[in-house]
Amino acid sequence: MLEMKNITKSFGPLVANNHVDFTAKKGEIHALLGENGAGKSTLMSILFGLYQADLGDIFINGQKVNIKTPNDATKYKIGMVHQHFKLVDIFTVLENIILGSEDSKNGFLKTKKARKKVEDIMEKYHMELNLDAKIQDLTVGQQQKVEIIKMLYKDSDILVFDEPTAVLTPQEIDEFLSIIKGFSNEGKVVILITHKLNEIKKAAQQCTILRRGKKIATVDVETTSTDKMAELMVGRPIQKNYDKNDYEKSETVLQIDKLTLEGKHKKILDQISFSVSRGEIVGIAGIDGNGQTELVRCLTGLTRITSGKIELNSIDITNLNVRRKNEHGISHIPEDRHKFGLVLDFSLAENLVLERYYQKDFQKYGLIDYKKVNQYAETLSEKYDIRSAYGISTKVRSMSGGNQQKAIIAREIEKDHDLLIAFQPTRGLDVGAIEMIHNELLEQRKNKKGVLLISYELDEIINLSDRILVIYEGRIVGNFDAKKVTPEILGCYMSGGGVKNE
């Protein structure tokens, strides 16, 4: 059904796709796997008409096609759900779905027919959404459904998903995988860009692996182990277990006492108390939406708390702003890298000194000393293997998602700090990069920093933490020694089935 032949695309000196062939059959779920920056999004953006290939051809059902814009792609029944959704926040679900293919009369939208079509699609694929809700009031999982329905509304037969599960909870992931299986049963082609090997195993039949812009192999998923796929992707075997010596009790870095945050109608965070010590990784496990985002915002100064106390190294920092908290020794890897982690139109070098440019290390005669900034940025790029088209002068917006994340991690780890708050630090990263980040977090522990790790990936929490707290509906409902707890017990507490503080 789809054939991409000899696709080549460069950005300046960087060859993002290097003579890549990609073929998908009718009814196939075909995974596209590769390290961060391997060229997956670029290849699919060429298919979707966002980029033009420098070289190569695309065939659909044997016919050569010329896709210059996303409108051409729609004509050939190709749809794409991007890594970062492209919805209008203040429009309703229905308005977003029909946007671009709307029917109007005398300047007024005709929505009756559209509504019926959307309802039929939702019924067919067992999806539920309030069509009159505004996008801004939906969860990320629901927003993704809007994107999916939008593709189906345009009758797409080739459906491309760019890291669709990176932002979903485990329950939503299962639901998503069963939805795409429904599409393949109907004869549609589903192309799944993902870093999660277990999802590839669960859903895909074929997997094409890219490395540094080149196609390495297309493998049959059933007969290829996840270890083998990971190895093909990074070019070496992946470390699976982490060496970690026992945690030795040490002085407290962070002390939180009865932290409470009241929302309009209810308490979002309710009397949260816990501490993090030097050389300790404290993990916070929980299902998305139980107060994790707000807790991190309160700790980092993005939100003012209603009552309670936050101490860092025994100094009261409760009501300090972001910069002051930062200067007191908090580093923060945020959940949403675009909103809180980066200035997308600044260069990589500028982003690497976002919290430090005004300090004397990077100033000369009251101006930013770019020579020093650039030197520092070069060192970090090399150390953390941050890849981009034009080196440290690349605008961060054009970097791959994984490399953007690496830039944040490099910046936060390298600045002087006592506590690292890492919120979903490996989101969207490939297995090789995850291994690197996990080792970095353990290195922090070894260097006697305190680490607060908040993640929706239970494996990550269990593998790295010394102590695990469970957050449920804004309260800490469990406090466990990581060596003694099982995923089942944590799962039970995470869904509200536990008793307070074991």
Chain residues binding ligand ATP by CB under 6 A are 11, 14, 16, 34, 36-42, 387-389, 398-403
Measured from the CB of residue 11, what is the shortest distance to ligand ATP in angstroms?
3
Angle, helices 431-446 vs 226-234, to 10°: value is 90
**Based on CB atoms, which residue is closest to ligand ATP, 118 or 209?**
209
**Based on CB atoms, which residue is closest to ligand ATP, 215 or 278?**
215
* Parallel, antiparallel or unpaired: strands 367-368 and 363-364: antiparallel
**Based on CB atoms, which residue is closest to ligand ATP, 49 or 329?**
49
**Based on CB atoms, which residue is closest to ligand ATP, 32 or 129?**
32
The answer to whether the CB of 221 falls within 8 A of the CB of 190 is no
Measured from the CB of residue 347, what is the shortest distance to ligand ATP in angstroms?
12
Measured from the CB of residue 119, what is the shortest distance to ligand ATP in angstroms?
34
Measured from the CB of residue 81, what is the shortest distance to ligand ATP in angstroms?
14
Measured from the CB of residue 420, what is the shortest distance to ligand ATP in angstroms?
22
**Based on CB atoms, which residue is closest to ligand ATP, 317 or 437?**
437
Measured from the CB of residue 415, what is the shortest distance to ligand ATP in angstroms?
23
Please give the helix or strand (H or E) that residue 454 lies within, else none: strand 450-454
**Based on CB atoms, which residue is closest to ligand ATP, 118 or 429?**
429
Measured from the CB of residue 193, what is the shortest distance to ligand ATP in angstroms?
7
The answer to whether the CB of 47 falls within 8 A of the CB of 125 is no
Paired strand residues for 382: none
**Based on CB atoms, which residue is closest to ligand ATP, 213 or 286?**
213
In three-state secondary structure terms, 483 is coil
What is the secondary structure of 31-87 as a DSSP string?
A: EEEE-TTSSHHHHHHHHTTSS--SEEEEEETTEEE---SHHHHHHTTEEEE-SS---
**Based on CB atoms, which residue is closest to ligand ATP, 387 or 449?**
387
How far is residue 433 from each of residues 38, 234, 300, 405, measured CA to CA in Å? 12, 9, 25, 10
Residue of minimal CB distance from ligand ATP?
402
**Based on CB atoms, which residue is closest to ligand ATP, 38 or 159?**
38
Q: How many angstroms separate the CA atoms of 388 and 394, rounded?
A: 7
Measured from the CB of residue 370, what is the shortest distance to ligand ATP in angstroms?
21
Q: How many angstroms separate the CA atoms of 46 and 414, rounded?
A: 36
Measured from the CB of residue 9, what is the shortest distance to ligand ATP in angstroms?
8
CA 189, distance to chain mean position in Å, is 24
**Based on CB atoms, which residue is closest to ligand ATP, 331 or 388?**
388
In sequence order, the 6+-apart residues with CB closer than 8 A to the CB of 340 are 302, 332, 334
Measured from the CB of residue 388, what is the shortest distance to ligand ATP in angstroms?
5
Q: How many angstroms separate the CA atoms of 401 and 45, rounded?
A: 14
Measured from the CB of residue 28, what is the shortest distance to ligand ATP in angstroms?
20
Provide the residue type at 176 as one letter.
F
Indicate the DSSP class of residue 134.
B
Sheet of 78-81, strand order? 78-81, 158-162, 189-193, 29-34, 206-211, 214-220
- Name the token pair of 444: 């922090």
**Based on CB atoms, which residue is closest to ligand ATP, 39 or 432?**
39
Measured from the CB of residue 162, what is the shortest distance to ligand ATP in angstroms?
7
* Parallel, antiparallel or unpaired: strands 104-105 and 108-109: antiparallel
Dihedral pair phi/psi, residue 373, rounded to 5°: -60, -45
Angle, helices 140-153 vs 170-185, to 10°: value is 10
Measured from the CB of residue 45, what is the shortest distance to ligand ATP in angstroms?
7
In sequence order, the 6+-apart residues with CB closer than 8 A to the CB of 200 are 31, 33, 192, 194, 207, 221, 226, 229
**Based on CB atoms, which residue is closest to ligand ATP, 238 or 320?**
238
**Based on CB atoms, which residue is closest to ligand ATP, 370 or 390?**
390
For the chain, counts of helices (H) and of strands (E): 16, 24
Q: How many angstroms separate the CA atoms of 3 and 62, rounded?
A: 8
